[in-house]
Structure 1
Amino acid sequence: MLEQRIQQQFFESADLLYQVAEPLSRPMALAAQMLVDGITGGGRLLCAGAGLAAQDAAYAAALLTGRFEQERPGLAAIAINALLHQGPGVLDEAAGLARQIQTLGHPGDLLLLIDNPSGSGASLVPLLEAAHAQDMSVVLLSGSQDEALRSALLDTDIPLRLPHSRFARVAEGYRLLSHCLCDAIDAQLLGIEE
Structure 2
Amino acid sequence: MNDKVIAVVTAGLTTPSSSRLLADQLATAVQDELSGRGLGSRVELIEVRDHARDLTNNLLTGFPTAELQKVLDTVTAADALVVVSPTFSASYSGLFKMFFDVLDDQALAGKPVLLGATGGTERHSLVLDFALRPLFAYLKALPVATGVYAASTDWGPGAAKLHSRIAQAASEIGAALQHETPTKADPFDNPTPFEDLLNG
| TM-score, normalization by structure 1 | 0.48
Whichever structure has more helix as a proportion of its residues is 1
Larger radius of gyration: 2
Greater RCO, CA 8 A, separation 6+: 1
